[in-house]
């Protein structure tokens, strides 16, 4: 892992990009991969089958001594909140607390949450929005910045929900994902003057590409930068103009169907991001 001190934005790698079902969600793979990746740190992605392996997971990750400033909460939390059947809220809150405990142990200071998720998604978004302060209270106890991600929706759209959340909780923090926005054709909305106030609340970005069309569920894949059709130049210009200095996480899937990890896929994405940052800085020099 290489540190780039002249860079204003730390570039992180999601552990979900290298650990997944094809390689058995084997968290011990993170150690060898860390040596082969040219990122500045990691965003740790929690999986649902790791709750029963908490002790082993904690020992493994702490022994690696990696920089993990961001922790991505396990996605079923949002699914339980969205389904909202008997006992689902209690399950979601219990799982969320475990995620907060692990995040703090791993040294993270920022937590990414899917406030809605899965097949139930945003069918009753008012319930999801109402539950946010309870989740935030838990995160606050562990000194974690809770960020809500602009996750894809199957009823409305993520931008509508981000704006509603900010109206309800003006100091809420967000993680903004480029692929999620592109899926709904909403990335250009971020740059519009009427929405620029959102950047005050965006504390973290997921920089991922997308190759499908509008709400193209069959192509909802997390692609490496330049493997899809997102134009990232306006995004980096926007971030530079507004002095965004937060982290940028790459989540592009880098393992194949056999679970073999291809580090070059991720290293190429990191370099493309660095080139965008350098180019934008050069173009705006007085």
Please spell the DSSP secondary structure of 144-180, one letter per residue: -EEEEE----SSS-HHHHHHHHHHHSTT-EEEEEHHH
User: Taking the model in full, what pTM does it have?
Assistant: 0.95
Domain-embedded: residue 141: yes
Which tokens in the block code for residue 241?
A: 């103009």
Alpha-carbon span 284 to 278, nearest angstrom: 10
Assign residue 255 the CATH number of its domain: 3.20.20.150
Domain-embedded: residue 49: yes
Contact (CB, 8 A) for 116 and 82: yes
| Predicted confidence (pLDDT) per residue in 123-147, tens digit | 999 999 999 999 999 999 999 999 9
Alpha-carbon span 109 to 72, nearest angstrom: 11
Alpha-carbon span 104 to 142, nearest angstrom: 6
Domain-embedded: residue 3: no
Domain-embedded: residue 4: no
Please give the tally of structural domains in the chain.
Answer: 1
| Predicted confidence (pLDDT) per residue in 234-272, tens digit | 999 999 999 999 999 999 999 999 999 999 999 999 999
Domain-embedded: residue 2: no
Domain-embedded: residue 5: no
Q: Over 80: is that where the pLDDT of 5 sits?
A: no
Alpha-carbon span 43 to 248, nearest angstrom: 10
Domain-embedded: residue 1: no
Q: Please choose, from the candidates 98, 150, 95, the residue with its C-alpha nearest in 3D space to the C-alpha of residue 125.
A: 150
In this prediction, what percent of the chain has a pLDDT beyond 90? 94
Alpha-carbon span 156 to 122, nearest angstrom: 7
Burial of 272 (0-12, 13-18, 19+ CB in 10 A): middle
Q: Over 60: is that where the pLDDT of 7 sits?
A: no
In this prediction, what percent of the chain has a pLDDT beyond 70? 97
Domain-embedded: residue 180: yes
| Predicted confidence (pLDDT) per residue in 78-104, tens digit | 999 999 999 999 999 999 999 999 999
Identify the pLDDT of residue 285: 66
Domain that includes residue 249, residue range? 11-283
Q: Which DSSP symbol is given to 9?
A: S
């Amino acid at each position: 892992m290489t540190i780039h001190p002249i860079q204003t934005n730390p570039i992180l790698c999601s552990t979900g990009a290298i650990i997944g079902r094809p390689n058995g969600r084997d968290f011990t793979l993170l150690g060898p991969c860390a040596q082969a990746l040219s990122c500045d740190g990691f965003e740790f992605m929690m999986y649902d089958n790791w709750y029963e392996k908490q002790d082993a997971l904690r020992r493994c990750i702490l022994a690696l001594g990696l920089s993990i400033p961001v922790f991505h909460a396990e996605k079923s939390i949002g699914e339980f909140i969205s389904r909202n059947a008997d006992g689902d809220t209690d399950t979601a809150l219990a799982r969320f607390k475990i995620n907060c405990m692990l995040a703090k142990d791993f040294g993270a200071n920022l937590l990414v949450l899917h406030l809605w998720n899965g097949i139930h998604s945003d069918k009753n978004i008012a319930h999801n929005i109402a539950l946010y302060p309870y989740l935030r209270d838990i995160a606050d106890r562990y000194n974690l910045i809770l960020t809500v991600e602009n996750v894809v929706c199957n009823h409305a759209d993520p931008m509508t929900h981000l704006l509603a959340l900010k109206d309800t909780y003006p100091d809420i923090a967000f993680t903004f994902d480029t692929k999620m926005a592109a899926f709904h054709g909403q990335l250009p909305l971020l740059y519009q003057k009427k929405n620029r106030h959102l950047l005050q609340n965006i504390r973290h970005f997921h920089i991922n590409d997308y190759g499908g069309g509008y709400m193209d569920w069959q192509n909802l894949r997390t692609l490496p930068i330049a493997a899809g059709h997102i134009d990232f130049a306006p995004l980096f210009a926007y971030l530079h103009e507004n002095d965004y200095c937060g982290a940028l996480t790459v989540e592009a899937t880098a393992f194949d169907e056999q679970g073999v990890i291809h580090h070059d896929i991720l290293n190429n994405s990191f370099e493309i991001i660095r080139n965008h940052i350098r180019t934008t800085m050069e173009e705006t020099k007085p």
